[in-house]
Chain A
């Protein structure tokens, strides 16, 4: 099976927020919850860089390790998902996540937290595919439609790539060799271990 990952190309991201808007729209994400967001470093300074951040679907996911009710699971495609029926909204995963991916809707007065919500790689959750329940809890299931996450497919500069790690690493490598810079795969070392250089992450397609 494929190993699904995201790559955000900091050399290309123009901070247009197309990815965040696509995500919000695709899944009808409630107000106050941001499954994907943009982070700009050195904003306003020449040479600023923007990164589109969401759940990276880590290899050794810290959220999975700390969850007291064990509501996380990994699909065959290595996508990290969770069962909202089981989640108690404790917030441990938020503290554990190096990317700040888990989000909590406000569920009442005095900052009462609802169940955790995060990027699903557009793969829905543990409900029947394309069901109303799945959409209500987790959003649209584009993966079951044979499509990639809406954020990456929406990206106008193709800064955000999503899909099988072997395929997207190859696309990225061609880019890097063409432009001659920006080999770093943002967040890969933290999420998947090993190296964050694209040349060290190239594997034959289908073997990742």
Chain B
């Protein structure tokens, strides 16, 4: 009887020792956004859009800008 009581009490006390997950992904409740490549410029061509951005990102490398032959190879 005593064992059952202790076990019930322990189970009851431990039941409160859990954490509700707070990092569960929440659904976005706002307006749907249009894809950046959907306009007249890229006409829905995702690959062309990605290429344009990659080219732009690469142009931030000033070693390529100055065309230095001795520049470190990537």
Contact = CB atoms under 8 A, between A and B. Distances in A.
Interface of A: 1-2, 60, 64-65, 67, 69-73, 75-77, 81-83, 85-86, 123, 125-130, 141, 143-148, 152-153, 158, 161-164, 167-168, 170-171, 173-174, 177-178, 205
Given A70-B27, A129-B38, A146-B49, 20 more contacts: A65-B23, A65-B26, A75-B33, A83-B31, A123-B36, A126-B31, A127-B31, A129-B36, A143-B53, A144-B37, A144-B38, A144-B41, A148-B57, A153-B60, A158-B60, A162-B60, A173-B74, A174-B71, A177-B72, A205-B54
- Secondary structure of the B contact surface, majority rule: loop
B39 interface: yes
Contact of B41 (A83, A146, A205): A146
B53 A148 contact: yes
Interface residues of B, number: 33
Contact of A164 (B34, B36, B41, B57): B57
13 contacts: A60-B23, A70-B29, A77-B36, A82-B30, A126-B30, A129-B34, A129-B39, A158-B62, A163-B56, A163-B60, A170-B74, A174-B63, A174-B72
